[in-house]
Copies of this chain bind each other. A is one copy, B any other.
């Protein structure tokens, strides 16, 4: 059955013979108590009329849409899906919905999305930026809570969460060294003004083990970027016997390039990467990678956003998360079939 006009709280009140206020009390289980008998009548009316509270009116009154905005870049982040899901779940647990937007590796798009979300008055924004130092001026100007993902502390006074890049890279490269590799190249993200922790970690592992600095090739953070970079790297004189990439997407591209070059993985060229996406489990050979604790990051991000919204004078927190090595075939470890 459909009505011409939506059923409102007033309709319910009339039907249940109570005042509109009581309907609110029942629907919101507060702030006043309602006699069970009355409550039953209201509930019945709601059921019969098929009443659904108007979200916009509620949002207007409460000054909260109970919506978060999430800005991700599918081009770059192999964890896109995992992250989006985890955040959606974490938000839902707090009764929040998530508007998902994709910046597609474009800073301009990212900024546009940010403006857009601000205009929509979302209650908070989670941003996995394309840039190391994102432009969040529109967001700050509007006073909308924001938490940076995939990032630790590059923007003063803005909370951020991210993997321990340097530590993870160090562990990954050290693992490669443990397999006996001496020439270890790296495919990094696009050059930026901000040094990437993964590069630092790679370098540190190399130098601590007395190894020469291998080739470093910046590339777009995407499968194709990794593919191109790996192709070039394999053509170097004295090409590396192992490659560390800054993300799974690049590694997936690198894998293809290595196969095309007719080389064997991991015998001729070993690969290890960073992220721990599901895709990495199903490449050939399966990809060894430093797994980020996505669910934990997502939960903490939502918590941080909520804290910001609540507005207690909590100081911005920069948290980084330890990654764990997921050793599979691509680095030379034995595969554990799924």
A104: B residues at CB distance < 8 A: 85
Contact B278 A55 (CB under 8 A): no
Which positions in A face B, CB cutoff 8 Å?
Answer: 2, 50, 52-57, 59-60, 63, 65, 67, 74, 80-81, 84-85, 88, 92, 97-102, 104, 116-121, 141-143, 223-224, 227, 252-253, 255-256, 259-260, 278-279, 281-286, 335, 337-338
Q: Write the chain B residue with the least CB distance to A228.
A: B338
- Bound CA span A141–B117, Å: 30
Contact A255 B227 (CB under 8 A): no
Contact B224 A338 (CB under 8 A): yes
- Bound CA span A118–B286, Å: 41
Contact A55 B65 (CB under 8 A): yes
- Bound CA span A56–B74, Å: 29
- Bound CA span A67–B101, Å: 13
A54: B residues at CB distance < 8 A: 60, 121
- Bound CA span A91–B104, Å: 16
- Bound CA span A88–B260, Å: 35
Instruction: Pull 7 A–B residue pairs with CB atoms less than 8 Å apart, ordered by A.
Output: A52-B118, A55-B119, A67-B99, A80-B81, A97-B116, A279-B279, A282-B283
Q: Write the chain B residue with the least CB distance to A118.
A: B52
Contact B227 A119 (CB under 8 A): no
| Residue of A55, A118, A256, A282 with most partner-chain B CB within 10 A | A282
Report the 3 A-B pairs with minimum CB-CB distance, sorted nearest first: A56-B59, A100-B100, A56-B60
- Bound CA span A282–B120, Å: 38
Chain B: minimal CB distance from A207 (Å): 33
Chain B: minimal CB distance from A105 (Å): 12
- Bound CA span A52–B141, Å: 11
Chain B: minimal CB distance from A333 (Å): 15
A224: B residues at CB distance < 8 A: 338
A2: B residues at CB distance < 8 A: 143
Contact B120 A97 (CB under 8 A): yes
Contact B227 A338 (CB under 8 A): yes
A84: B residues at CB distance < 8 A: 100, 102
- Bound CA span A284–B57, Å: 53
A102: B residues at CB distance < 8 A: 84-85, 88
Contact A278 B85 (CB under 8 A): no
> Which of these, B142, B143, B260, B279, contacts A337 with CB under 8 Å?
B260
Contact A55 B120 (CB under 8 A): yes
With A74-B85, A227-B282 known to touch, is A56 a contact of B65 (CB < 8 Å)? yes
> Which of these, B56, B81, B97, B283, contacts A81 with CB under 8 Å?
B81
A101: B residues at CB distance < 8 A: 88, 92, 97
- Bound CA span A308–B260, Å: 49
Chain B: minimal CB distance from A222 (Å): 9
- Bound CA span A285–B283, Å: 10
- Bound CA span A53–B60, Å: 12
A57: B residues at CB distance < 8 A: 56, 60
A50: B residues at CB distance < 8 A: 141-142
